[in-house]
Amino acid sequence: MSETTDAITGASILLDEVTKQYPGQTRPAVGGLTLEIPAGSIVMFVGPSGCGKTTTLKMINRLIEPSSGKIVINGEDVTKMDGDTLRRRIGYVIQAGGLFPHMTVAANIAIVPKMLGWDKAKIAARVDELLELVSLDPSIYRDRYPKELSGGQQQRVGVARALAADPPVLLMDEPFGAVDPITRQRLQDELLNIQSEVQKTIVMVTHDFDEAVKLGDWIAVFDEGAQLVQYDSPERVLANPANEFVENFIGSGAGLKQLTLTRVNQVKLNEAVTALPGELASDVLSRVQGAGQPLAVVLDKRRRPVRRLTRRQLSRLQIVDDTIDESMPVVGDQATLNDALDTMLVASSETAVVTGRRDAFLGVINVQTIMEAISAANAAAAEAEGDAPVGLNSGAIPAIAIEGALAANGHDGGNTSEDLQDVEEPR
Ligand SMILES: Nc1ncnc2c1ncn2[C@@H]1O[C@H](COP(=O)(O)OP(=O)(O)OP(=O)(O)O)[C@@H](O)[C@H]1O
Protein backbone atom coordinates (compact mmCIF):
# COMPACT_ATOMS: atom_id res chain seq x y z
CA MET A 1 0.00 0.00 0.00
CA SER A 2 1.36 3.36 -0.91
CA GLU A 3 2.12 6.10 1.55
CA THR A 4 -0.27 9.00 1.73
CA THR A 5 2.33 11.53 2.80
CA ASP A 6 5.92 11.28 3.93
CA ALA A 7 4.95 11.30 7.58
CA ILE A 8 1.81 9.18 7.51
CA THR A 9 2.41 5.50 6.95
CA GLY A 10 -1.18 4.59 7.78
CA ALA A 11 -3.78 3.79 5.14
CA SER A 12 -7.27 5.20 4.75
CA ILE A 13 -10.10 2.77 5.40
CA LEU A 14 -13.61 2.95 4.02
CA LEU A 15 -16.45 0.76 5.18
CA ASP A 16 -18.92 1.06 2.35
CA GLU A 17 -22.47 0.10 3.36
CA VAL A 18 -21.23 -2.84 5.35
CA THR A 19 -23.76 -5.20 6.91
CA LYS A 20 -23.24 -8.28 9.07
CA GLN A 21 -26.13 -10.61 9.58
CA TYR A 22 -25.19 -13.55 11.81
CA PRO A 23 -27.01 -16.77 10.97
CA GLY A 24 -30.07 -17.32 13.13
CA GLN A 25 -30.22 -13.69 14.32
CA THR A 26 -33.28 -11.64 13.50
CA ARG A 27 -31.49 -8.28 13.28
CA PRO A 28 -28.15 -7.51 11.73
CA ALA A 29 -25.26 -6.97 14.17
CA VAL A 30 -24.06 -4.24 11.82
CA GLY A 31 -26.61 -2.56 9.58
CA GLY A 32 -25.49 -0.73 6.45
CA LEU A 33 -22.58 1.12 7.99
CA THR A 34 -20.61 3.59 5.91
CA LEU A 35 -17.58 4.90 7.73
CA GLU A 36 -14.58 6.78 6.51
CA ILE A 37 -11.41 6.38 8.57
CA PRO A 38 -8.75 8.89 7.54
CA ALA A 39 -5.16 7.71 7.03
CA GLY A 40 -2.93 8.24 10.04
CA SER A 41 -5.77 8.91 12.47
CA ILE A 42 -6.94 7.13 15.60
CA VAL A 43 -10.64 6.30 15.51
CA MET A 44 -12.30 5.05 18.68
CA PHE A 45 -15.43 2.87 18.64
CA VAL A 46 -17.63 3.28 21.70
CA GLY A 47 -21.17 2.20 22.51
CA PRO A 48 -23.12 -0.16 24.75
CA SER A 49 -22.28 -3.84 25.07
CA GLY A 50 -23.41 -5.88 22.08
CA CYS A 51 -23.89 -2.88 19.77
CA GLY A 52 -21.56 -4.31 17.12
CA LYS A 53 -18.20 -2.62 17.78
CA THR A 54 -16.12 -5.79 17.68
CA THR A 55 -18.02 -7.14 14.68
CA THR A 56 -17.32 -3.89 12.82
CA LEU A 57 -13.63 -3.97 13.81
CA LYS A 58 -13.18 -7.59 12.77
CA MET A 59 -14.78 -6.99 9.39
CA ILE A 60 -11.91 -4.61 8.59
CA ASN A 61 -9.40 -7.49 8.64
CA ARG A 62 -12.11 -9.96 7.65
CA LEU A 63 -11.79 -12.10 10.75
CA ILE A 64 -15.54 -11.71 10.31
CA GLU A 65 -16.79 -11.72 6.73
CA PRO A 66 -19.32 -8.99 5.91
CA SER A 67 -22.68 -10.24 4.64
CA SER A 68 -22.72 -7.33 2.21
CA GLY A 69 -20.90 -4.12 1.49
CA LYS A 70 -17.27 -3.34 0.75
CA ILE A 71 -14.08 -2.79 2.71
CA VAL A 72 -11.71 -0.44 0.92
CA ILE A 73 -8.17 0.16 2.19
CA ASN A 74 -6.16 2.94 0.57
CA GLY A 75 -8.51 2.89 -2.39
CA GLU A 76 -8.17 -0.87 -2.88
CA ASP A 77 -11.25 -3.07 -2.46
CA VAL A 78 -10.06 -5.82 -0.12
CA THR A 79 -13.45 -7.46 0.35
CA LYS A 80 -12.55 -10.42 -1.85
CA MET A 81 -8.82 -10.50 -1.20
CA ASP A 82 -7.38 -13.63 0.42
CA GLY A 83 -8.04 -13.12 4.16
CA ASP A 84 -4.61 -14.30 5.35
CA THR A 85 -2.81 -11.99 2.95
CA LEU A 86 -4.97 -9.12 4.13
CA ARG A 87 -4.34 -9.85 7.81
CA ARG A 88 -0.58 -9.74 7.30
CA ARG A 89 -1.04 -6.12 6.30
CA ILE A 90 -3.12 -5.28 9.35
CA GLY A 91 -1.82 -5.38 12.91
CA TYR A 92 -4.28 -6.76 15.44
CA VAL A 93 -4.08 -6.27 19.20
CA ILE A 94 -6.46 -7.84 21.70
CA GLN A 95 -6.91 -7.71 25.43
CA ALA A 96 -3.93 -9.00 27.46
CA GLY A 97 -1.85 -9.04 24.29
CA GLY A 98 -3.15 -12.44 23.14
CA LEU A 99 0.38 -13.84 23.26
CA PHE A 100 1.19 -17.50 22.66
CA PRO A 101 2.21 -18.76 26.11
CA HIS A 102 4.71 -21.38 24.92
CA MET A 103 6.62 -18.94 22.72
CA THR A 104 9.22 -16.43 23.90
CA VAL A 105 8.59 -12.73 23.55
CA ALA A 106 10.89 -12.64 20.51
CA ALA A 107 9.11 -15.59 18.87
CA ASN A 108 5.73 -13.98 19.49
CA ILE A 109 6.82 -10.73 17.86
CA ALA A 110 8.44 -12.60 14.96
CA ILE A 111 5.32 -14.49 13.86
CA VAL A 112 4.31 -12.33 10.90
CA PRO A 113 7.87 -11.49 9.72
CA LYS A 114 8.56 -15.25 9.70
CA MET A 115 5.46 -15.92 7.64
CA LEU A 116 6.63 -13.22 5.27
CA GLY A 117 9.95 -15.07 4.92
CA TRP A 118 12.26 -12.44 6.39
CA ASP A 119 15.77 -13.71 7.14
CA LYS A 120 16.84 -14.39 10.71
CA ALA A 121 19.10 -11.36 11.12
CA LYS A 122 16.41 -8.98 9.86
CA ILE A 123 13.84 -10.53 12.20
CA ALA A 124 16.19 -10.34 15.22
CA ALA A 125 16.96 -6.68 14.51
CA ARG A 126 13.26 -5.86 14.09
CA VAL A 127 12.34 -7.63 17.35
CA ASP A 128 14.90 -5.56 19.27
CA GLU A 129 13.84 -2.34 17.55
CA LEU A 130 10.20 -2.98 18.47
CA LEU A 131 10.98 -3.89 22.07
CA GLU A 132 12.84 -0.58 22.35
CA LEU A 133 9.86 1.19 20.80
CA VAL A 134 7.50 -0.20 23.45
CA SER A 135 10.00 0.58 26.23
CA LEU A 136 11.11 -2.95 27.04
CA ASP A 137 14.86 -3.62 27.25
CA PRO A 138 15.51 -6.27 24.56
CA SER A 139 18.38 -7.89 26.46
CA ILE A 140 16.08 -8.50 29.44
CA TYR A 141 12.81 -9.37 27.72
CA ARG A 142 13.41 -10.99 24.35
CA ASP A 143 13.90 -14.51 25.75
CA ARG A 144 11.22 -14.38 28.41
CA TYR A 145 7.90 -16.20 28.21
CA PRO A 146 4.60 -14.31 28.53
CA LYS A 147 3.92 -15.68 32.01
CA GLU A 148 7.18 -14.04 33.15
CA LEU A 149 5.78 -10.61 32.25
CA SER A 150 3.34 -8.26 34.00
CA GLY A 151 -0.01 -7.55 32.37
CA GLY A 152 1.22 -4.19 31.09
CA GLN A 153 4.38 -5.76 29.66
CA GLN A 154 2.36 -8.45 27.90
CA GLN A 155 0.22 -5.73 26.40
CA ARG A 156 3.33 -3.89 25.17
CA VAL A 157 4.58 -7.08 23.52
CA GLY A 158 1.14 -7.42 21.92
CA VAL A 159 1.54 -3.95 20.41
CA ALA A 160 5.10 -4.76 19.28
CA ARG A 161 3.86 -7.93 17.61
CA ALA A 162 1.10 -6.09 15.80
CA LEU A 163 3.62 -3.56 14.47
CA ALA A 164 6.19 -6.21 13.46
CA ALA A 165 5.73 -6.13 9.70
CA ASP A 166 5.07 -2.38 9.73
CA PRO A 167 1.41 -2.64 8.72
CA PRO A 168 -0.37 0.57 7.71
CA VAL A 169 -3.38 -0.31 9.88
CA LEU A 170 -3.62 -1.34 13.51
CA LEU A 171 -6.86 -2.75 14.92
CA MET A 172 -7.12 -2.83 18.70
CA ASP A 173 -9.95 -4.55 20.55
CA GLU A 174 -10.09 -3.28 24.14
CA PRO A 175 -6.32 -3.55 24.30
CA PHE A 176 -5.98 -2.00 27.74
CA GLY A 177 -9.07 -3.57 29.30
CA ALA A 178 -7.19 -6.03 31.51
CA VAL A 179 -4.65 -3.79 33.23
CA ASP A 180 -4.85 -1.61 36.33
CA PRO A 181 -5.66 2.11 35.90
CA ILE A 182 -2.09 3.39 36.37
CA THR A 183 -0.63 0.89 33.89
CA ARG A 184 -3.47 1.69 31.55
CA GLN A 185 -2.62 5.37 31.67
CA ARG A 186 1.05 4.59 30.91
CA LEU A 187 0.15 2.29 28.03
CA GLN A 188 -2.13 4.95 26.57
CA ASP A 189 0.65 7.53 26.82
CA GLU A 190 3.05 5.11 25.21
CA LEU A 191 0.65 4.37 22.39
CA LEU A 192 0.43 8.10 21.69
CA ASN A 193 4.22 8.37 21.73
CA ILE A 194 4.52 5.43 19.37
CA GLN A 195 1.81 6.85 17.12
CA SER A 196 3.64 10.17 16.91
CA GLU A 197 6.56 8.19 15.45
CA VAL A 198 4.73 5.67 13.26
CA GLN A 199 1.54 7.54 12.19
CA LYS A 200 -0.50 4.40 11.55
CA THR A 201 -4.24 4.27 11.06
CA ILE A 202 -5.53 2.92 14.36
CA VAL A 203 -9.05 1.70 15.01
CA MET A 204 -9.75 0.87 18.64
CA VAL A 205 -12.74 -0.54 20.47
CA THR A 206 -13.09 0.63 24.06
CA HIS A 207 -15.62 0.59 26.87
CA ASP A 208 -13.98 3.58 28.45
CA PHE A 209 -15.24 6.91 27.19
CA ASP A 210 -12.32 8.74 28.82
CA GLU A 211 -9.96 6.51 26.85
CA ALA A 212 -11.83 7.40 23.66
CA VAL A 213 -11.49 11.11 24.41
CA LYS A 214 -7.83 10.78 25.31
CA LEU A 215 -6.68 8.70 22.36
CA GLY A 216 -9.14 9.43 19.59
CA ASP A 217 -8.78 11.87 16.72
CA TRP A 218 -12.35 10.82 15.99
CA ILE A 219 -14.92 9.03 18.13
CA ALA A 220 -17.66 6.87 16.64
CA VAL A 221 -20.54 6.43 19.09
CA PHE A 222 -22.66 3.42 18.14
CA ASP A 223 -26.03 2.16 19.24
CA GLU A 224 -27.42 -1.34 18.67
CA GLY A 225 -26.87 -2.74 15.18
CA ALA A 226 -23.78 -0.49 14.86
CA GLN A 227 -26.09 2.43 14.17
CA LEU A 228 -23.81 5.44 14.19
CA VAL A 229 -25.19 8.03 16.57
CA GLN A 230 -22.31 10.48 16.32
CA TYR A 231 -18.96 10.51 14.54
CA ASP A 232 -16.90 13.53 15.37
CA SER A 233 -13.91 14.90 17.21
CA PRO A 234 -13.72 14.32 20.98
CA GLU A 235 -14.03 18.08 21.50
CA ARG A 236 -17.32 18.26 19.64
CA VAL A 237 -18.76 15.04 21.03
CA LEU A 238 -18.19 16.46 24.50
CA ALA A 239 -19.31 19.99 23.70
CA ASN A 240 -22.28 19.07 21.45
CA PRO A 241 -23.50 15.52 22.09
CA ALA A 242 -25.75 14.55 19.16
CA ASN A 243 -28.61 13.50 21.42
CA GLU A 244 -29.55 12.23 24.86
CA PHE A 245 -28.11 8.81 24.11
CA VAL A 246 -24.64 10.29 23.59
CA GLU A 247 -25.11 12.57 26.58
CA ASN A 248 -25.86 9.58 28.77
CA PHE A 249 -22.95 7.75 27.29
CA ILE A 250 -20.56 10.56 28.10
CA GLY A 251 -21.81 10.38 31.66
CA SER A 252 -21.52 13.03 34.30
CA GLY A 253 -18.74 15.56 34.49
CA ALA A 254 -18.45 16.41 30.80
CA GLY A 255 -16.76 19.64 31.88
CA LEU A 256 -14.09 17.76 33.76
CA LYS A 257 -13.68 15.38 30.84
CA GLN A 258 -12.41 18.35 28.88
CA LEU A 259 -9.32 17.86 31.00
CA THR A 260 -8.80 14.60 29.17
CA LEU A 261 -8.56 16.57 25.95
CA THR A 262 -5.57 18.59 26.96
CA ARG A 263 -2.19 16.98 27.28
CA VAL A 264 0.57 18.07 29.56
CA ASN A 265 2.68 18.99 26.52
CA GLN A 266 0.04 21.54 25.50
CA VAL A 267 0.34 23.71 28.59
CA LYS A 268 3.18 25.91 29.68
CA LEU A 269 5.25 24.11 32.28
CA ASN A 270 6.94 25.85 35.17
CA GLU A 271 10.67 25.90 35.18
CA ALA A 272 12.43 24.39 38.14
CA VAL A 273 15.90 24.54 39.59
CA THR A 274 17.68 21.26 38.88
CA ALA A 275 20.54 19.69 40.74
CA LEU A 276 22.91 16.81 40.18
CA PRO A 277 24.06 14.28 42.76
CA GLY A 278 27.41 15.29 44.21
CA GLU A 279 26.65 19.02 44.23
CA LEU A 280 26.98 21.04 47.42
CA ALA A 281 23.49 21.41 48.91
CA SER A 282 24.26 25.02 49.90
CA ASP A 283 24.99 25.90 46.25
CA VAL A 284 21.70 24.38 45.17
CA LEU A 285 19.88 26.17 47.99
CA SER A 286 21.19 29.55 46.86
CA ARG A 287 20.05 28.82 43.31
CA VAL A 288 16.61 27.85 44.60
CA GLN A 289 16.39 31.01 46.70
CA GLY A 290 17.70 33.15 43.86
CA ALA A 291 15.00 31.79 41.56
CA GLY A 292 12.31 32.24 44.19
CA GLN A 293 11.46 28.52 43.94
CA PRO A 294 10.25 26.23 46.71
CA LEU A 295 12.38 23.27 45.72
CA ALA A 296 14.97 21.71 43.40
CA VAL A 297 14.57 18.62 41.25
CA VAL A 298 17.50 16.20 41.39
CA LEU A 299 18.33 14.56 38.05
CA ASP A 300 20.51 11.57 37.24
CA LYS A 301 23.16 11.47 34.51
CA ARG A 302 20.53 10.89 31.83
CA ARG A 303 18.52 13.85 33.09
CA ARG A 304 15.83 11.65 34.60
CA PRO A 305 14.28 13.09 37.79
CA VAL A 306 15.07 11.02 40.89
CA ARG A 307 13.76 13.15 43.78
CA ARG A 308 12.76 16.64 44.88
CA LEU A 309 14.48 18.61 47.64
CA THR A 310 12.72 21.44 49.45
CA ARG A 311 14.58 24.45 50.81
CA ARG A 312 14.36 22.93 54.27
CA GLN A 313 15.76 19.58 53.14
CA LEU A 314 18.56 21.37 51.29
CA SER A 315 19.47 23.41 54.35
CA ARG A 316 19.98 20.19 56.29
CA LEU A 317 22.03 18.40 53.65
CA GLN A 318 25.72 18.73 52.85
CA ILE A 319 25.92 17.00 49.52
CA VAL A 320 23.04 16.19 47.16
CA ASP A 321 22.88 12.40 46.91
CA ASP A 322 21.18 10.17 44.37
CA THR A 323 18.56 8.59 46.63
CA ILE A 324 15.50 7.77 44.51
CA ASP A 325 12.11 8.94 45.77
CA GLU A 326 9.68 6.32 44.49
CA SER A 327 6.67 8.33 45.62
CA MET A 328 7.58 11.52 43.72
CA PRO A 329 4.63 12.49 41.46
CA VAL A 330 5.85 12.19 37.87
CA VAL A 331 3.81 12.43 34.65
CA GLY A 332 4.86 12.00 31.04
CA ASP A 333 4.24 14.94 28.73
CA GLN A 334 1.73 12.86 26.72
CA ALA A 335 -0.39 12.37 29.84
CA THR A 336 -3.67 14.25 30.00
CA LEU A 337 -4.29 16.98 32.53
CA ASN A 338 -6.74 14.55 34.09
CA ASP A 339 -3.93 12.03 34.60
CA ALA A 340 -1.69 14.77 35.97
CA LEU A 341 -4.34 15.84 38.46
CA ASP A 342 -4.81 12.21 39.55
CA THR A 343 -1.09 11.79 40.05
CA MET A 344 -0.95 14.92 42.20
CA LEU A 345 -3.95 13.85 44.27
CA VAL A 346 -2.48 10.41 44.92
CA ALA A 347 0.81 12.00 46.04
CA SER A 348 -0.97 14.80 48.01
CA SER A 349 1.21 17.27 46.15
CA GLU A 350 0.27 20.49 44.38
CA THR A 351 2.87 19.93 41.71
CA ALA A 352 4.13 17.05 39.58
CA VAL A 353 7.40 16.60 37.75
CA VAL A 354 7.01 16.27 33.98
CA THR A 355 9.15 14.03 31.79
CA GLY A 356 9.43 13.64 28.02
CA ARG A 357 11.13 11.16 25.69
CA ARG A 358 13.25 8.60 27.51
CA ASP A 359 11.93 9.90 30.81
CA ALA A 360 14.06 13.07 30.67
CA PHE A 361 13.04 16.01 32.86
CA LEU A 362 11.04 18.78 31.16
CA GLY A 363 9.62 20.92 33.95
CA VAL A 364 6.94 21.04 36.61
CA ILE A 365 3.16 21.29 36.35
CA ASN A 366 0.95 22.61 39.13
CA VAL A 367 -2.73 22.66 40.08
CA GLN A 368 -3.09 26.32 39.08
CA THR A 369 -2.02 25.55 35.50
CA ILE A 370 -4.57 22.76 35.34
CA MET A 371 -7.40 24.94 36.63
CA GLU A 372 -6.62 27.60 34.04
CA ALA A 373 -6.53 24.96 31.33
CA ILE A 374 -10.06 23.76 32.26
CA SER A 375 -11.49 27.20 31.52
CA ALA A 376 -9.46 27.52 28.31
CA ALA A 377 -10.47 24.04 27.10
CA ASN A 378 -14.15 24.68 27.75
CA ALA A 379 -14.01 27.95 25.84
CA ALA A 380 -12.10 26.39 22.92
CA ALA A 381 -14.45 23.41 22.68
CA ALA A 382 -17.42 25.67 22.18
CA GLU A 383 -15.71 27.24 19.15
CA ALA A 384 -14.08 24.11 17.66
CA GLU A 385 -14.65 23.90 13.91
CA GLY A 386 -13.53 21.65 11.08
CA ASP A 387 -14.84 18.76 9.05
CA ALA A 388 -15.56 15.31 10.41
CA PRO A 389 -15.10 12.20 8.23
CA VAL A 390 -18.17 10.61 6.64
CA GLY A 391 -20.13 8.23 8.78
CA LEU A 392 -23.71 7.03 8.36
CA ASN A 393 -25.96 4.01 8.20
CA SER A 394 -27.98 3.29 5.16
CA GLY A 395 -30.23 0.70 6.81
CA ALA A 396 -33.76 1.17 5.59
CA ILE A 397 -33.05 4.65 4.26
CA PRO A 398 -33.49 4.95 0.50
CA ALA A 399 -30.23 5.29 -1.43
CA ILE A 400 -31.34 8.63 -2.79
CA ALA A 401 -31.59 10.04 0.71
CA ILE A 402 -28.04 8.93 1.46
CA GLU A 403 -26.74 10.54 -1.69
CA GLY A 404 -28.61 13.64 -0.70
CA ALA A 405 -27.12 13.55 2.76
CA LEU A 406 -23.62 13.04 1.38
CA ALA A 407 -24.04 15.89 -1.06
CA ALA A 408 -25.53 18.13 1.61
CA ASN A 409 -22.59 17.38 3.85
CA GLY A 410 -20.09 17.69 1.03
CA HIS A 411 -18.86 14.29 2.30
CA ASP A 412 -17.70 16.00 5.39
CA GLY A 413 -20.44 16.38 7.76
CA GLY A 414 -20.22 15.67 11.52
CA ASN A 415 -22.73 13.08 10.45
CA THR A 416 -25.21 11.56 12.79
CA SER A 417 -28.10 9.25 12.26
CA GLU A 418 -30.18 12.26 13.27
CA ASP A 419 -28.92 14.07 10.18
CA LEU A 420 -30.28 11.22 8.16
CA GLN A 421 -33.56 11.21 9.96
CA ASP A 422 -33.74 14.84 8.97
CA VAL A 423 -33.30 13.77 5.37
CA GLU A 424 -35.78 10.96 5.67
CA GLU A 425 -38.45 12.74 7.62
CA PRO A 426 -38.20 16.46 7.17
CA ARG A 427 -39.63 18.15 10.25
N1 LIG B 1 -20.71 -15.34 16.14
C2 LIG B 1 -21.88 -14.75 16.43
N3 LIG B 1 -23.04 -15.36 16.16
C4 LIG B 1 -24.21 -14.75 16.40
N5 LIG B 1 -24.33 -13.53 16.95
C6 LIG B 1 -23.20 -12.88 17.27
C7 LIG B 1 -21.93 -13.46 17.02
N8 LIG B 1 -20.97 -12.56 17.43
C9 LIG B 1 -21.65 -11.50 17.90
N10 LIG B 1 -22.99 -11.69 17.82
C11 LIG B 1 -24.04 -10.72 18.20
O12 LIG B 1 -23.86 -9.54 17.45
C13 LIG B 1 -24.08 -8.39 18.24
C14 LIG B 1 -22.86 -7.51 18.22
O15 LIG B 1 -21.78 -8.15 18.88
P16 LIG B 1 -20.36 -7.47 19.04
O17 LIG B 1 -19.47 -8.46 19.74
O18 LIG B 1 -19.91 -6.94 17.75
O19 LIG B 1 -20.70 -6.27 20.01
P20 LIG B 1 -19.77 -5.30 20.85
O21 LIG B 1 -20.32 -3.96 20.69
O22 LIG B 1 -18.35 -5.51 20.47
O23 LIG B 1 -20.03 -5.84 22.32
P24 LIG B 1 -19.11 -5.76 23.63
O25 LIG B 1 -18.92 -4.32 23.92
O26 LIG B 1 -19.95 -6.44 24.66
O27 LIG B 1 -17.85 -6.48 23.32
C28 LIG B 1 -24.45 -8.90 19.62
O29 LIG B 1 -25.83 -8.89 19.74
C30 LIG B 1 -23.90 -10.31 19.65
O31 LIG B 1 -24.66 -11.12 20.50
Query: What is the rounded distance in angstroms from the CA atom of residue 420 to the CA atom of residue 408?
Result: 11
CB-based contacts of 1, cutoff 8 Å, min separation 6: 11, 73, 74, 76, 89, 168
Query: For atom 28 of ligand 1, which residue has the closest CA?
Result: 50
| pLDDT band at residue 220 under the 50/70/90 scheme | very high
78-123 pLDDT tens trace: 999 999 999 988 999 988 778 999 999 999 999 989 988 999 999 9
Number of other residues whose CB lies within 10 A of the CB of residue 177:
16
Point out the ligand 1 atom lying closest to the alpha carbon of residue 47. Answer: 21
**What domains does the chain contain, in order, with CATH numbers?**
13-253+387-424 (3.40.50.300), 265-380 (3.10.580.10)
Query: For atom 16 of ligand 1, which residue has the closest CA?
Result: 52
Q: Is 67 in the pocket of ligand 1 (CB under 6 A)?
A: no
| pLDDT band at residue 382 under the 50/70/90 scheme | low
How high is the pLDDT of residue 426?
Answer: 33
Residue 171: C-alpha distances to residues 51, 135, 284, 307 (Å) = 18, 21, 50, 39
Q: Contact, 142 vs 127, CB < 8 A?
A: yes
Q: What ipTM was predicted for this assembly? A: 0.96
The larger pLDDT score, comparing residue 125 to residue 404, is at 125
Ligand 1 mutation target, pool 54, 211, 221, 249, most atoms within 8 A of CB: 54
Q: Contact, 149 vs 141, CB < 8 A?
A: yes
The larger pLDDT score, comparing residue 380 to residue 144, is at 144
Q: Is 206 in the pocket of ligand 1 (CB under 6 A)?
A: no
Q: Say if residue 285's pLDDT is above 90.
A: yes
| pLDDT band at residue 415 under the 50/70/90 scheme | very low
Cα 270 to ligand 1 centroid, rounded to whole Å:
48
CB-count burial class (<10 Å; 0-12, 13-18, 19+) for 398: exposed
The tally of CA atoms less than 13 A away on the side-chain side of residue 5 is 10
Cα 205 to ligand 1 centroid, rounded to whole Å:
13
394-414 pLDDT tens trace: 854 344 344 444 444 444 334
Mean pLDDT comparison of 51-55, 341-345, 390-394, highest-scoring range? 51-55
Cα 25 to ligand 1 centroid, rounded to whole Å:
11
Cα 23 to ligand 1 centroid, rounded to whole Å:
12
